[in-house]
Every structure is written in structure tokens, then in C-alpha cells.
């Protein structure tokens, strides 16, 4: 499924809104919690108990599932709040979601960057109502509920109300305007109306004493009567939530169409920064969907940090750097460079205020920063930004925190011993030292740069010289074969360590299953023995895990880009589609989707090395708006190939690059610098049905 949802979003915006069933993992849909095998159904129909705000996108067992401030249009008594009704006639567009409930209410939602606007069309009823539940949060799964810590709700009359609820340690405020002429406005607690009360205060809420609470608007509805609910959100109090609402919706007038139109225009602008020509309808749909998903997260909320008073960008739902630093952040650097810089500035601020560069950062207070996944990944993104000359970052300030962060968590053991377990963190920290050295040398701190480079070369300590693979260790969501083909800063030395080009290619061929028998996929509730047998194959798992995203491109450094072409072509053909199951794993905040975008363009960013690798693209022509430039990828000899959803019963042959030119000049390498792409230009690739001499024996640079 990819673990995405069809709710309304704004490009990299703070607020999303979607129908809420309580299902795993986004709150939308029918499925129960699942991490292996085919997911089991939690519900037998698409249903919703209302519409919530703030959803994850593409994540798995992340434990912070949001779904706050549930809005429910009802024609039942308040006692029925929490019941679910079947969804009919769903419509989802960029920035817009609509569905009809069993009750006959047509529900439409759109969002701005910090606002949501609900529009409900009621059937005739003498006691219609819109109920806002401030206590809602999390999922309807074991240990998935979110319990507020404190809350305050106030009704000000004349269709105005506001409230603040502290969820996961974060104060979320909402300011509400309701366009409900002649309807009553009341607060409620424990599904009972508070007649005449204008304020609720809860100083200490626990799971044992929590009762639902919130505000509502109710009255008689004419057939087809439209009610609009406008909501401004902030992490800095209801006054700022009110200002956010006024900024995006105006004051006191229906705003649904205006907000929807503006958000649609923002989506057109962002998605329009990558244009492709050719391809089947299904392939174009998958590409556009991937580009859309790659632009939902992280959330960038200017001046909204709840933890420090400074103005400036505040980014959350970095879920996680392990998922997004290889492909998604390089995509944002190209097509949304200002927001890319904002994300990095926010990460530096987090490091300054909280003491570490987070591997993941959610709208939640706490020390859980996904440290088990990886180490020192922000350093890679910062090195990329520095190499591109991105303005807006104080690099002396950044360097201080880059250096300090290398000594935290696993860093102290790495500093003393040059190797740390889990062994993958040795690779992370060595690469982080290498990336930091590049920034230090550019700032003329040669002594620091020399020391960092020396420590960066300790990546070799992670490998067993007898096998050419990583040493035995614990591995996060993978095994040593998955991680052994990561792109390190000195791939020439890495290949020598494996025994040379032929031996390295042989290891890769085994990993990708060349000549191997097909593998049976697990079904529902796979037994531990079945999963263990699968892991023991030491095979490529498909693009459902982060270490495998870059492995196909390892062939480039062994002079075999033809192998890269075959594997990437197979993944683009069979692992992505237009329906359910259209993603081969968690989309992970857009990390997997951005992989698809780059692979379709015939490029792959080597994070931290200022490089793009070249491969046969999936489209005949593409235009990438990179910064202020326009990078065009043209082909000759391109053959349109369908994808699996087109009814294929066998694999269409891959295409291979025969020759290349850049701006009309012959290109005798299998790579480009990131500067080549970002300054704009024209890459022409001549394609053919058979492997050619192009790239044979050529290697991208290795940075020691």
C-alpha cells in the first residue's frame, strides 16, 4: 500500500486532513498493524468516524500517528460520536478530499499551509450538527491511542471558538470560525452538552480519567444546506492560530473555494517543476503520483517551533533522515531549493537547542530520535548544500554542530576505536566525518579537515577482508548483504577490498538474484521460520528498504552500468503501479517515491558526493527545473515500455545507453557533477536494445 493516504495536503505544508477510521498507519483505510507479509483487514469497508488533521505519510511503525482535532458532521445524537459510517463517492485531488457518509452528508476538505477548511452539505434535518473533538488522537490499534496531557477550550460566540491541547508534549492550538447562521454554539464533555458554559480547562489528563471533549455547532438544516468550518492551526498558541487563519482565509467570509484554488496552484507549480514526455498512461500516472508524494513531507512551518522562541523555519515529520537523505532531499534541493535550505536550517537549530542532529524529528517532545537506524545523516545533506553553494546558511555555525554531533551516541566509541557496533554506524560515522571535512576545508580549517578525513577513512574497519562483506553484527531492517553495497566515499578501495571488479560484480549478481530461482512471497501472518528462511537467502528485497535504494548503482563503479540498467528497469516495470499495492514498501515520507522520480529521469544522486549517475531514462524526454536553470534530458532510440499494471506477462527488455553528450559535447563518463545538473543544460542519451561499450570500464570518481 505504501502507507499513504488520499487526504488533502499542501506542498511541504504543516496541515493535512483526511477521513479517519483509526486504521494503521495513517488513520485512513481498513488495515490493521502489519510489518511482515500481507496485511490483515481491520474493517471490511471504507469508513470514517469524522475527519482528522495531521497525518503521517508513508511511514510504518512510527508510534506517533497524530490524527488530531476530529471534525464530525452528524444528524445523530451526540451519544453516537465515535461511531463510523461507510464512505461513498470518494474524490481525491491535490489539496482536496471529498466523500459522502452513510448519513447523507457530503463532506469536502481543503487545506492551506497552516489551515483547513471543511465544507459539509447536509440533508434536511431538524437537529444537524458539526462536532469538533479536541481529545482525539492516534489510532484504534493496541497502544496506538494518543492521550492529551492538558487542554483548554473556549467558546466566544458568533461562530468563533479556540482551543489548545497538549499532545505528545506539543501544544497544538486551533482557532475556529463556523459559517453556521442561526445554529447554536456549545461546548461538550463526555458526550454531554454544557449549557451556558464558555470554557473548559483540564490541567492534568490521564488515560484513566480521559473523557472526550470539545465544541459543537448545531441547528436545523434545509435540504442541501452548506456549512463551512474554517480552522487555523499553530504550535504557538491560539492567537497565532487566528493570525494564520486570517492570513490564509481572510476574515468572516466563506473561503473554501479560495483556499482550494490557491493550494491547487501551489501543487501545479511544484509538480510542474519536473515535466516528462512520452510513456504509457499508467507510467505517467505513477510518475506524477511519485512526484506528488515526494513533496508532502517534511512539514515546514515558519515561526512555529513550540520549543524555542526564535523566528525562522521549523521542520517536523522528518520521518526519517534514514529514509529521505539519499533521494528526497536531493530532489528538494533541485526543485524546491528554498524549502530544502529551510529544512537544513531547522535541523541545525534542533541540534543547537536539543543537543543532537536528529535522525527523525516528529511533532512530539522526547529523546526518541530513531538513533537505531543510523548516525550522522544530516552531515550528508549539509555537505550537498554546501557543494551547491546554497545561500541562507551560516556555514561556520553549521560546522560547529556538525563536528560536535560526530561525538554523540555511537560517535565516542568510533572516535576511540575506529569501529562501532552496530557495524553500519561505522559506515555512517566515517561518511559523516568525510562530509564534514569537505565543509571544514572550504572554510580553511585545514587541521580540522585533515583530522576528519583521517577518521573518515576508517570505513574500511566495517568490512571483513576475508569475505569482502560487512562484519557480522546486528542490522536494522536488513542484513549484512543489504548494507554491504552502500556507496562509500572511496568506491575504488571498496571494490579492491572485495577482490576487484569481477569479484565485486559477482557478489552483486548474487545479491540481485541473477540465475537464481524465483522466491515465494509470504502471506498473512508468516511464521518466524518462513521469514528467517527468506532472510537467509541474502537477496535483494526489492525497493522496500532504504539500504537497497542505492545498491543497483554500485555496478557503475565496477564499470558495469548495463547491470544497473537491467535492475532499475525491472524495478520501474514491476514494482510500481496505479492501484492498491502500487508501491513496493513504505513510501517513507517520500523517500521511495523520490527514488522513482530520479530513476525515471535516468539519474541517481549520490548523496554527499556532489554526483549524479547516468542511466537509461523511462521517458523519451524530461525537463527538470533545477534552481533557476532548466536541465533537459533527451533521448534518441527510446522505446516506450509498459509497466506491470498494463497486463504484461513477461519482462520487456531493458534499454541501454549507447553514447551521451552534454550541451552538445561528447560525454565520456557515466556521471555528472551536481553543479552540471543545477546550473542547467542538455543531456542527450542515445539508447539501444543491447549493452554497449559505453561505460564499460569507466568509473565515477572515488573520493578518499
Q: Alpha carbon of 604 to those of 327, 385, 587, 632, 633: distances in Å? A: 8, 17, 18, 15, 13
Domain boundary at 268, 301, 336, which?
Answer: 268
Rounded Cα distance between 31 and 24, Å, is: 6
pTM given for the model: 0.97
Q: Is 158 part of any domain?
A: yes
The total number of structural domains in the chain stands at 2
Tell me the average pLDDT across 39-50. 95
pLDDT bin (cut points 50, 70, 90) of residue 5 is very high
What confidence score (pLDDT) does residue 368 get?
A: 64
Between 293 and 696, name the one with better pLDDT: 293
Q: Is 238 part of any domain?
A: yes
Tell me the average pLDDT across 473-495. 94
Nearest to 704, CA basis, from 446, 493, 490, 454: 490
Rounded Cα distance between 300 and 620, Å, is: 34
Residue 162: strand pairing partners: 154, 175
Strand (E) or helix (H) holding 365: none
Rounded Cα distance between 479 and 34, Å, is: 20
Q: Alpha carbon of 661 to those of 9, 624, 633, 670: distances in Å? A: 39, 17, 10, 11
242 and 288 share one domain: no
61 and 182 share one domain: yes
Residues contacting 544, CB < 8 A, separation 6+: 584, 585, 586, 592
Residues contacting 396, CB < 8 A, separation 6+: 443
Contact between residue 219 and residue 183 where contact means Cβ atoms under 8 Å apart: yes
**Burial zone of 89 (CB within 10 Å; 0-12 exposed, 13-18 middle, 19+ buried):** exposed
CA of residue 239 relative to chain centroid, distance = 30
**Phi, psi of 479, rounded to the nearest 5 degrees:** -135, -175
* Neighbour tally for 83: CB within 10 Å: 13
CA of residue 364 relative to chain centroid, distance = 17
Q: Is 122 part of any domain?
A: yes
318 and 422 share one domain: yes
C-alpha cell at 478: 536488513
Alpha carbon dihedral 685, 687, 690, 694, in 10-degree steps, equals -10
Domain boundary at 268, 294, 309, which?
Answer: 268
**H helix and E strand count, the chain:** 19, 28
Model confidence pLDDT, tens digit, residues 543-567: 877 889 999 999 999 999 999 999 9
Model confidence pLDDT, tens digit, residues 82-131: 999 999 999 999 999 999 999 999 999 999 999 999 999 999 999 999 99
Rounded Cα distance between 406 and 594, Å, is: 28
Q: Is 672 part of any domain?
A: yes
Nearest to 599, CA basis, from 627, 618, 580: 618
What confidence score (pLDDT) does residue 409 get?
A: 81
429 and 489 share one domain: yes
562 and 667 share one domain: yes
Tell me the average pLDDT across 60-64. 86
Res. 204: pLDDT tops 90: yes
Q: Is 698 part of any domain?
A: no
227 and 296 share one domain: no
228 and 316 share one domain: no
Of all residues in the chain, what percent are helix, strand and coil, respectively (each to 5)?
30, 25, 45
Strand (E) or helix (H) holding 655: none
Q: What is the CATH number of the domain that holds 259?
A: 2.70.98.10
- Strands, E assignment, 292-394: 299-300, 315-316
23 and 114 share one domain: yes
What confidence score (pLDDT) does residue 197 get?
A: 87
261 and 376 share one domain: no
Residue range of the domain that includes 373:
272-688
675 and 649 share one domain: yes
pLDDT bin (cut points 50, 70, 90) of residue 704 is very low
Residues contacting 251, CB < 8 A, separation 6+: none
293 and 316 share one domain: yes
Q: Among 12-26, 58-72, 428-442, 639-653, where is mean pLDDT lowest?
A: 639-653
Q: Is 700 part of any domain?
A: no
Model confidence pLDDT, tens digit, residues 637-650: 999 989 988 888 88
Q: What number of CA atoms fall less than 13 Å from residue 670's CA on the CB side?
A: 30
565 and 681 share one domain: yes
Q: Is 140 part of any domain?
A: yes
Rounded Cα distance between 528 and 543, Å, is: 22
Q: What is the CATH number of the domain that holds 339?
A: 1.50.10
Contact between residue 182 and residue 126 where contact means Cβ atoms under 8 Å apart: no
Amino acid at each position: 500500500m505504501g502507507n499513504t493516504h488520499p487526504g488533502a495536503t499542501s506542498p511541504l505544508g504543516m496541515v493535512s486532513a483526511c477521513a479517519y477510521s483509526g486504521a494503521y498507519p495513517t488513520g485512513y483505510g481498513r488495515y490493521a498493524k502489519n510489518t511482515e507479509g500481507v496485511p490483515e483487514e481491520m474493517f471490511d469497508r471504507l469508513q470514517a468516524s469524522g475527519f482528522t488533521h495531521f497525518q503521517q505519510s508513508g511511514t510504518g511503525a512510527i508510534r506517533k500517528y497524530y490524527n488530531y482535532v476530529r471534525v464530525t458532521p452528524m444528524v445523530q445524537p451526540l451519544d453516537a460520536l465515535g461511531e463510523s459510517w461507510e464512505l461513498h463517492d470518494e474524490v481525491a485531488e491535490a489539496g482536496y478530499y471529498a466523500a459522502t457518509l452513510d448519513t447523507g452528508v457530503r463532506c469536502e476538505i481543503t487545506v492551506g499551509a497552516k489551515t483547513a477548511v471543511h465544507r459539509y452539505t447536509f440533508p434536511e434535518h431538524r437537529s444537524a450538527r458539526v462536532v469538533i473533538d479536541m481529545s482525539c488522537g492516534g489510532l484504534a490499534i493496541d497502544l496506538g491511542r494518543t492521550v492529551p496531557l492538558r487542554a483548554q477550550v473556549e467558546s466566544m460566540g458568533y461562530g468563533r471558538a479556540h482551543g489548545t491541547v497538549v499532545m505528545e508534549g506539543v501544544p497544538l492550538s486551533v482557532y475556529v470560525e463556523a459559517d453556521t447562521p442561526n445554529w447554536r454554539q456549545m461546548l461538550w464533555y463526555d458526550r454531554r452538552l454544557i449549557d451556558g458554559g464558555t470554557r473548559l480547562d483540564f490541567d492534568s489528563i490521564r488515560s484513566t480519567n480521559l473523557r472526550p471533549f470539545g465544541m459543537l455547532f448545531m441547528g436545523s438544516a434545509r435540504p442541501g444546506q452548506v456549512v463551512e468550518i474554517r480552522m487555523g492551526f499553530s504550535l504557538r498558541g491560539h492567537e497565532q492560530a487566528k493570525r494564520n487563519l486570517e492570513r490564509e482565509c481572510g476574515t468572516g467570509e466563506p473561503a473554501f473555494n479560495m483556499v482550494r484554488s490557491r493550494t491547487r496552484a501551489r501543487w501545479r507549480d511544484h509538480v510542474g517543476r519536473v515535466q516528462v514526455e512520452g510513456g504509457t498512461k499508467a507510467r505517467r500516472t505513477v510518475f506524477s503520483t511519485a512526484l506528488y508524494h515526494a513533496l508532502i513531507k517534511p512539514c515546514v512551518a515558519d515561526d512555529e517551533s513550540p520549543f524555542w522562541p526564535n523566528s525562522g523555519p521549523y521542520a517536523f515529520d522528518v520521518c526519517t533522515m534514514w529514509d529521505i537523505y539519499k533521494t528526497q532531499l536531493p530532489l528538494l534541493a533541485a526543485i524546491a531549493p528554498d524549502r530544502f535550505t529551510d529544512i537544513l536550517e531547522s535541523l541545525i537549530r534542533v541540534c543547537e537547542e536539543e543537543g543532537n542532529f536528529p535522525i527523525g524529528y516528529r511533532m512530539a517532545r522526547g529523546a526518541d530520535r530513531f538513533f537505531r537506524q543510523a548516525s550522522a545523516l544530516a552531515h550528508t545533506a549539509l555537505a550537498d548544500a554546501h557543494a551547491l553553494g546554497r545561500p541562507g546558511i551560516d556555514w561556520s555555525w553549521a560546522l560547529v554542530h556538525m563536528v560536535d554531533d560526530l561525538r554523540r551516541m555511537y560517535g565516542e566509541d568510533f572516535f576511540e576505536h575506529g569501529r562501532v557496533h552496530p557495524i553500519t554506524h561505522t559506515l555512517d560515522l566515517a561518511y559523516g566525518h568525510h562530509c564534514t571535512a569537505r565543509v571544514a576545508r572550504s572554510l580553511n580549517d585545514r587541521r580540522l579537515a585533515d583530522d576528519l578525513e583521517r577518521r573518515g577513512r576508517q570505513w574500511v574497519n566495517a568490512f571483513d577482508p576475508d569475505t569482502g562483506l560487512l562484519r557480522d553484527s546486528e542490522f536494522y531492517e536488513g542484513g549484512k548483504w543489504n548494507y554491504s553495497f552502500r556507496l562509500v566515499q572511496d568506491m575504488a578501495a571498496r571494490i579492491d577490498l572485495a577482490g576487484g571488479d569481477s569479484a565485486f560484480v559477482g557478489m552483486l549478481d548474487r545479491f540481485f538474484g541473477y540465475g537464481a530461482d524465483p522466491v515465494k512471497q509470504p502471506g498473512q501472518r508468516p511464521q518466524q521460520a518462513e521469514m528467517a528462511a527468506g532472510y537467509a537467502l541474502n537477496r535483494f528485497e526489492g525497493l522496500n528498504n532504504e539500504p537497497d535504494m542505492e545498491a543497483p548503482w554500485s555496478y557503475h563503479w565496477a564499470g558495469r552500468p548495463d547491470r544497473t540498467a537491467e535492475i532499475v528497469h525491472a524495478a520501474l516495470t514491476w514494482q510500481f503501479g496505479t492501484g492498491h499495492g502500487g508501491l513496493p514498501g513504505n513510501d517513507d515520507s517520500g523517500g521511495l517515491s523520490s527514488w522513482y522520480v530520479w530513476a525515471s529521469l535516468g539519474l541517481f544522486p549520490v548523496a554527499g558526493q556532489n554526483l549524479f549517475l547516468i542511466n537509461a531514462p523511462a521517458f523519451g524526454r524530461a525537463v527538470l527545473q533545477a534552481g533557476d536553470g532548466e536541465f533537459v534530458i533527451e533521448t534518441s532510440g527510446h522505446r516506450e515500455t509498459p509497466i506491470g499494471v498494463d497486463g504484461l506477462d513477461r519482462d520487456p527488455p531493458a534499454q541501454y545507453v549507447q553514447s551521451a553528450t552534454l550541451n552538445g559535447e561528447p560525454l565520456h563518463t557515466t556521471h555528472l557533477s551536481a553543479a552540471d545538473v543545477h546550473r542547467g543544460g542538455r543531456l542527450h542519451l542515445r539508447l539501444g536494445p543491447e549493452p554497449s561499450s559505453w561505460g564499460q570500464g569507466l568509473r565515477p570518481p572515488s573520493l578518499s
